[in-house]
Amino acid sequence: MVSTSKIKSVDFYRKIPRDLTEASLSGAGLSIIAALSMMFLFGMELNNYLTVSTTTSVVVDKSSDAEFLRIDFNMSFPALSCEFASVDVSDVLGTNRLNITKTVRKHSIDKHLRPTGSEFHSGSTTRELKHDEEDDEEYGEGSVSLNGHSFDRVSHQYPILVVNYFAPWCYWSNRLKPSWEKAANIMRERYDREADGRILVAKVDCTEEVDLCRRNHIQGYPSIRIFRKGSDVRDDHGHHDHESYYGDRDTDSLVKMMEDLVAPIKLESQMITSDNSSTKLTTGMKRPAPVTGGCRIEGFVRVKKVPGNLVISARSAAHSFDASQMNMSHVISGFSFGKIITPKVMSDIKKLLPYLGQSHDRLNGNSYITNPRDSTENVTIEHFLQVVKTEVMTRSYKLVEEYEYTAHSSLVHSLRIPVAKFHYEPSPMQVLITENSKSFSHFITNVCAIIGGVFTVAGILDSILHNTMRMVKKVELGKNF
């Protein structure tokens, strides 16, 4: 049998002699300090356990969105009509897409950036229009020239007013002129202005009647507008809503268009009948004209992950533009790359890393306004964007992706029609941020180490303090003898 003394020798929790457990003032103070130290260190350890730590690395971009990049935008152009506003994309690989409409929406806005109606459907302005063959055939001046005063008078006098807004220097205006005058002569013979009075074919020289053309938001030449007396006249200042004609420009097409407009109008009353179905021209030939001179463009495009350009410009295959009158000022409400990040996700990202997400929409809320009257003409506004992708891996293994970019903008005096151009350059590298999880066992181990360590240090200090006091007492006793 094992002796009792041997068993007692392995007792690690032996009772301390009574004379060593007597309370003392120094021991009480040391105990309080030890308890406060343990509480403080425990709080520090708990805060460290709950605090998110991350590691950042730069790697080659191998993201899940493959070789394409989405660009979302929402921009307002106070001086660019939706009639000709075009969104174009090009890149260094030779991709060149013009007038993207499938994923882009346009709304007419006023000078205060407020929408003035429903979505504007401009249709295609890039198809070639049919014109009369160029010849030396003589033609008379059949249309009536209008100015600011006569326009208001005849627009209230004739049920149908068809106006050609032109510029003498414009190639397309000169191509239209023969067929327009021929069509005007034909309509004057068929519908005499005095005896019939149902239609008037007119023209306006926009180089002379600048205010009249600006009032009707003419930005491309020639522009054919159709005004109707009566139902299209608003109460405020007699403003006319009107339509734009985008059909062929040969004599036969113009005459047919005018005949279709006159057909439903009764000669006796000169009033438009209630049934307007007969006035509808071929789809795409006639659409509502913009009631204001501005346009808000919003939507998205998908581009390849190579350097390229997103260009907003005035574009048409059958119109000319006066570069000195073009103003590409714009206000950016939204411009971002990649998938749209919801506010909740962005809030979670900023909780994880406060500095992240600050450059996700750097251009948002910025205004780029120029005034051609006060500065040199033909001002193109360019933005140079360098794009870097950031991926965040959280502890729940949910991948969050966002694109951040730097932006530098400048005004450039162009020799051509001014545009708003966004040069983007995606980086071949990406930033990978990984959230490091901390194990609970490690937290418990550190807590135990804190408790044991404080007890040990407190015991050592107590022992030193106790022995010091004993030595002091012995010295004092030795002096007394």
| Measured distance between the N- and C-terminal CA atoms of the chain, rounded to whole angstroms | 55
Please identify which of the residues 170, 206, 213, 295 carries the catalytic annotation: 170
Residue 329 phi, psi dihedral angles, 5° rounding: -60, 145
**Amino acid type, 93:** L
* Distance separating alpha carbons of residues 459 and 471, to the nearest angstrom: 18
- Does an H or E element contain 214, and which? helix 210-215
* Distance separating alpha carbons of residues 106 and 144, to the nearest angstrom: 34
Residue 465 phi, psi dihedral angles, 5° rounding: -65, -40
Please name which of 40, 44, 57, 43 lies closest in space to residue 436, comparing C-alpha atoms: 57
* Distance separating alpha carbons of residues 52 and 379, to the nearest angstrom: 49
Please name which of 10, 29, 11 lies closest in space to residue 462, comparing C-alpha atoms: 29
Please name which of 244, 304, 249 lies closest in space to residue 121, comparing C-alpha atoms: 244
* Distance separating alpha carbons of residues 451 and 464, to the nearest angstrom: 20
* Distance separating alpha carbons of residues 66 and 403, to the nearest angstrom: 14
* Distance separating alpha carbons of residues 305 and 61, to the nearest angstrom: 10
Residues 295/315, Cβ–Cβ less than 8 Å: no
Beta bridge partners of 461: none
440: number of Cβ within 10 Å? 9
Residues 303/120, Cβ–Cβ less than 8 Å: no
Q: Using CB atoms within 10 Å of the CB of residue 156, give its burial: 0 to 12 exposed, 13 to 18 middle, 19+ buried.
A: middle
* Distance separating alpha carbons of residues 190 and 179, to the nearest angstrom: 17
82 assigned to active site: no
* Distance separating alpha carbons of residues 377 and 323, to the nearest angstrom: 8
Q: Give the neighbor-by-neighbor strand order of the sheet with 367-368.
A: 115-119, 104-109, 294-304, 68-77, 330-337, 367-368
19: number of Cβ within 10 Å? 6
Residues 6 or more apart whose Cβ sits within 8 Å of residue 26:
462, 465, 466, 469
Tokens of 457: 């240090």
**Total residue count of the chain as it appears in this document:** 481
Residues 6 or more apart whose Cβ sits within 8 Å of residue 175:
131, 134, 249
Active site residue ranges: 170
